[in-house]
Structure 1
Amino acid sequence: MSQAAAAPAPIHAPASAAAARATGLSKVYGSGETRVVALDSVSVEFGRGHFTAIMGPSGSGKSTLMHCMAGLDSVSSGSARIGDTELAGLDDRRLTRLRRDKIGFVFQAFNLLPTLTAYENITLPMAIAGRRPDQAWVSAVVRTVGLAGRLDHRPSQLSGGQQQRVAVARALASRPEIVFADEPTGNLDSRAGAEILGFLRESVRELGQTVVMVTHDPVAAAHADRVVFLADGRLTDELLAPTAERVLDRMRLFDATGRTS
């Protein structure tokens, strides 16, 4: 797909309803000589019940896109929506509530509280919101991520892979509309990373979750239903039913030309 067009057509999700949608989304940092365009008129949809990976070279805007879609960063122009809710129209209080109630986050740094048990970490967002956990759902999440028998352990008593499982379970426990994962296996060895990717895949297949993951790893991206590619802040291509080999071939085109063909 060429980058020549000034307003690229949206890359649509393979689902009838979008859990999240960007339309003409741009993000600019600085001004004058220090002006940097991190995102340039990006339009993309993330379908409900699907697993999407976002890939691109370093500095392509993939993490910026995720942060804008998750309400962690403001947009300079265009639209970012979670379901039917436009993020730009929300004040700080409503944006905080939306992130708490409708969005799950999984990051490289597990961000677990060391004094809490695994179960307490998993249910912490609901405790902060003053909501009682849906025990049947939490039990299903715990089974999906393989944490049975570890719920009374504190983070220091868990391996890195187990801590990331707790982080994944925490993201899923409140039944968010969408989970954003930023390099969720970046601090894990290959075996633990494969387990976490398998759990994210399972959450989509078994629990109907929507997952959007930023990654640089073709093997990680192969767990997704779909990969979208960015270069220089613009969406340039997508790949359905990816394999690690097909993703790697596509990424090599970035190295050779700076864009996909």
Structure 2
Amino acid sequence: MTTTPTVSRATAVAARATDLSKVYGHGETQVVALDQVTVDFRQGEFTAIMGPSGSGKSTLMHCVAGLDSFSSGSVRIGETELSTLKDKQLTQLRRDKIGFIFQAFNLLPTLTALENITLPMDIAGRKPDKQWVQQVIDMLGLSARLSHRPTELSGGQQQRVAVARALASRPEIIFGDEPTGNLDSRSGAEVLGFLRNSVRELGQTVVMVTHDPVAASYADRVIFLADGRIVDEMLHPTADGVLDRMKAFDAKGRTS
């Protein structure tokens, strides 16, 4: 198999990691979670990150999203270098330029669906673009659920609210950490379809960590990590193709 330690193309870039490393501990207890990773996440593209357990896929997403620090290298969101930002500036960047979708939904139970959707903008003191928010709500089929609280919604509906919240502020990039991990297959397919449509119809940029080949098949490309390094890339992925690639990684791990 041909390895691709660097994944990059000449086009508009929403986020970029260059020689990114993340090391935990020292000496004999040292663990290298990321080992000089270089990757671009291009605007208007849906990228899935996959790899065996412990490969560094979640660490990569957390570092690029500004949720975790890194040991060396560079991370940029647009033209902004994360390592130059103070904590307050980093918080503001995450709030203004990045959207997040988590496996656990992370909705506030005392707020309605609409209040959860607009919460980040309310906290920032920014007025939502009503036309844009309505477009997102319509795309996600949430118009009839806006006055409902999370306990009155199904798991799939709650995750759709979380997707709407991530899209509502029109961030430069959205990161999803196993966003369908707590959903049944039908609800998961709906949410993945909405994410794909947000890229194709709204021009959004989405980066998703997943272990599921079916989920990865919704993306425009898949980046594969192993032992903290990017080892392969697949364009226009299919579920079977991703599964075969993952099986090859597993077989290599068992024989190494």
When normalised by structure 1's length, the TM-score is 0.95
Instruction: Using the TM superposition, give the Cα deviation of residue 9 of structure 1 relative to its aligned residue in structure 2, in angstroms.
Output: 4.9
Q: Structure 2 matches for 1:134-145, cutoff 5 A?
A: 134-145=129-140
Give the aligned partner of residue 112 of structure 2. Answer: 117
Structure 1 consecutive aligned stretches of length 4 or more whose deviation exceeds 4 Å: none
CA distance in 2, matches of 1:87, 1:162: 33
Give the aligned partner of residue 56 of structure 1. Answer: 51
Instruction: Using the TM superposition, give the Cα deviation of residue 258 of structure 1 relative to its aligned residue in structure 2, in angstroms.
Output: 3.2
Give the aligned partner of residue 6 of structure 2. Answer: 10
Measured against aligned partners, the alpha-carbon deviations of 1:139-182 in whole angstroms (never above 9, x if no partner) come to 01111111111001000100000000000000000000000000
Give the aligned partner of residue 105 of structure 1. Answer: 100
Equivalences, count: 254
CA distance in 1, matches of 2:29, 2:235: 37
Give the aligned partner of residue 123 of structure 2. Answer: 128
Q: Please, which of 29, 47, 50 is the counterpart of residue 24 of structure 2?
A: 29
Q: Structure 2 matches for 1:175-254, cutoff 5 A?
A: 175-254=170-249
Q: Please, which of 147, 154, 161 is the counterpart of residue 149 of structure 2?
A: 154
| Amino acid in the other structure paired with 2:154 | S
Give me the identity figure in percent: 75
| Amino acid in the other structure paired with 1:202 | N
CA distance in 2, matches of 1:205, 1:145: 14
| Amino acid in the other structure paired with 1:60 | S
In structure 2, the residue corresponding to 1:175 is in which secondary structure?
coil
CA distance in 1, matches of 2:131, 2:151: 27
CA distance in 1, matches of 2:56, 2:141: 33
- CA contact under 8 A between 2:66 and 2:94: conserved in structure 1? yes
| Amino acid in the other structure paired with 1:135 | K
In structure 2, the residue corresponding to 1:149 is in which secondary structure?
helix
In structure 1, the residue corresponding to 2:106 is in which secondary structure?
coil
| Amino acid in the other structure paired with 2:7 | I
| Amino acid in the other structure paired with 2:177 | D
Instruction: Using the TM superposition, give the Cα deviation of residue 137 of structure 1 relative to its aligned residue in structure 2, in angstroms.
Output: 0.5
CA distance in 1, matches of 2:92, 2:19: 25
CA distance in 2, matches of 1:213, 1:146: 22
| Amino acid in the other structure paired with 1:241 | H
| Amino acid in the other structure paired with 1:10 | T
Most deviating of 230-239 and 141-150? 141-150
Instruction: Using the TM superposition, give the Cα deviation of residue 233 of structure 1 relative to its aligned residue in structure 2, in angstroms.
Output: 0.3
CA distance in 2, matches of 1:48, 1:54: 16
In structure 2, the residue corresponding to 1:168 is in which secondary structure?
helix
Measured against aligned partners, the alpha-carbon deviations of 1:13-33 in whole angstroms (never above 9, x if no partner) come to 5x6111000000000011111
CA distance in 2, matches of 1:245, 1:199: 22
Instruction: Using the TM superposition, give the Cα deviation of residue 93 of structure 1 relative to its aligned residue in structure 2, in angstroms.
Output: 0.6
Q: Structure 2 matches for 1:91-102, cutoff 5 A?
A: 91-102=86-97
